[in-house]
Amino acid sequence: MTLRVAIVDDEPPARARLRRLLKGQADIEVVAECGDGAAAVHAIESLQPDLVFLDVQMPELDGFEVLGALEVARLPAVIFVTAFDKYALRAFEVHALDYVVKPVEPERFARALAHARQRIIERRSTDDGVSNLIRQLVRERAHLARIPVRSEGRVKVIDLGDVDWLSAADNYVTLHVGRNDYLVRDTLSALEARLDASTFVRVHRSSIVRLDRIAELVPDLHGDYRIRLKNGAVVPMSRTYRARVEDRFGRRL
C-alpha cells in the first residue's frame, strides 16, 4: 500500500526537512509541496492525498483555516507541524491524528508517521460507522469562516462576515462583498453545507443571503417576496425557500 503525502509549510527549510525524513520510506509518495494555505486547499482538493503534514502558522490561511475550507467528508489524515506546543490541544479538537514540534526530531516523526499509517490502513479496510459519526460532528461545528479567491493575479482571503450575499453562476459562486464581487469555483449547494445556518439562509435556488444584511421583505404581485439588503441590493426569494426564512425569523410572513 502506498500513502500519498502532501507537505504544507511556508518555510522552505521546514519542507526540506520533512522531505528528508520521508526519504527512504518505500510506501510513501510525496504528491505535493505547498508554501501557503491557499495552494494547500487547491492541492488537497485536486490530488486527494492520504496524509498531510500541515504547518499551523502560515500567512493568509493558517493550518486550521485550511481544514475549514475543505469538504469534511474528504478530509485527509493530518499531522500538524508547529513551533509551539500550545497548538496541540486545538489540533486534536479538529481531529488531527498527531502533531510534531519544530524542529522535527526523527524519532518523534517516526512515531507520528507510524500512527498515521496504522489509522489510514484501518480507514481503508473498514468503515464501522465511527468515522462517519466523527465527520458528522465536525461538519456540524466547523463552519466555513474564510474563503481564498483569486483576484487580479493574487489570492485574496474573504471573511464570510464581510459577505452580503452569494449567487450561483453555473459551477461558480459569486461572493457579493459591498461593491465588490469575487468568483469562487464551487457550487452553491456545496458552500451552503459549510456555512453557518444561523448566519446564512438559502432564499432561492441561486441565492444565499446573510441574515443580518436583510433590511426588508417586499411582496410582489405573485405572492413571492423580494429581499432588499441594507446595501440596496435586491435578491429574489422563491416560495420553495420561504419557510427557511420564516424559521430564521421565528414568524410566518
- Domains present along the chain, CATH in parentheses: 3-140 (3.40.50.2300), 155-249 (2.40.50.1020)
pTM of the full predicted structure?
0.52
Q: What is the DSSP track for 26-41?
A: TTEEEEEEESSHHHHH
Reported as a pLDDT band with limits 50, 70 and 90, residue 134 is very low
Mean predicted lDDT score pLDDT of the chain: 84
- β-strands 3-8, 51-55 pairing: parallel
Angle at 108 between CA 68 and CA 51, to 5 degrees: 35
Reported as a pLDDT band with limits 50, 70 and 90, residue 59 is confident
Report pLDDT digits (tens) over 202-252: 999 899 999 999 999 988 777 678 999 999 999 999 888 888 888 888 777
For residues 192 and 206, what is the distance between their CA atoms, to the nearest angstrom?
Answer: 11
